[in-house]
Amino acid sequence: MEMGAVNKYFSYDEMGKQAILAGADLLLVCHEYSHELEVYNGLLQAVKAGEVPIDRINESVKRVLTYKLNNMKQTKADPEQAGKVVKNPESIKFIESLGDDE
C-alpha cells in the first residue's frame, strides 16, 4: 500500500477503502505506523459511513479464517529440529553480523 504507484493517486485513508472494494482480503502497510493508522481509520470510517458494506468485510474475514483453518494446522514445528537451527554456530554468527553495519 505504500508503493509510489498507489500513494501517488490515493491518500492512505482512501487506499484501504479502495483495496477492499476491489476485492483485497488483506492490507499490508509496512513502513510507517502513521500510515497504518490512516488506512485503518479510513476503512473504519468508510464502513461506518456505509461506503464499504460490513458484509464485504465479513467476506474477507471468512476467507482468511477458512484459509488458516485449512492450511495452518498442517504447519508444525519440530522443536528438536528448530533447536538445531537456532543453536547452530553458523546461524548465530549470521544473526550477530546483521548489526555490524550500524
Cell of 49: 459511513
Please tell me the predicted confidence (pLDDT) of residue 58. 94
Residue 43 maps to a domain: yes
* Boundaries of domain holding 29: 4-97
Instruction: Report pLDDT digits (tens) over 53-99.
Output: 999 999 999 999 999 888 876 667 788 888 887 778 888 887 778 76
- Asked whether the beta carbons of 31 and 1 are under 8 A apart, the reply is no
pTM above threshold 0.85: no
Residue 50 maps to a domain: yes
Gap between the Cα atoms of 47 and 44, Å rounded: 5
Q: How confident is the model at residue 1 (pLDDT cuts 50, 70, 90)?
A: low
Please tell me the predicted confidence (pLDDT) of residue 42. 95
Rounded to an integer, the average pLDDT of 9-32 is 92
Does residue 19 register a pLDDT over 70?
A: yes
Residue 102 maps to a domain: no
Residue 77 maps to a domain: yes
Gap between the Cα atoms of 20 and 1, Å rounded: 12
3-state helix, strand, coil in the chain (%, to 5): 65, 0, 35
Number of structural domains found in the chain = 1
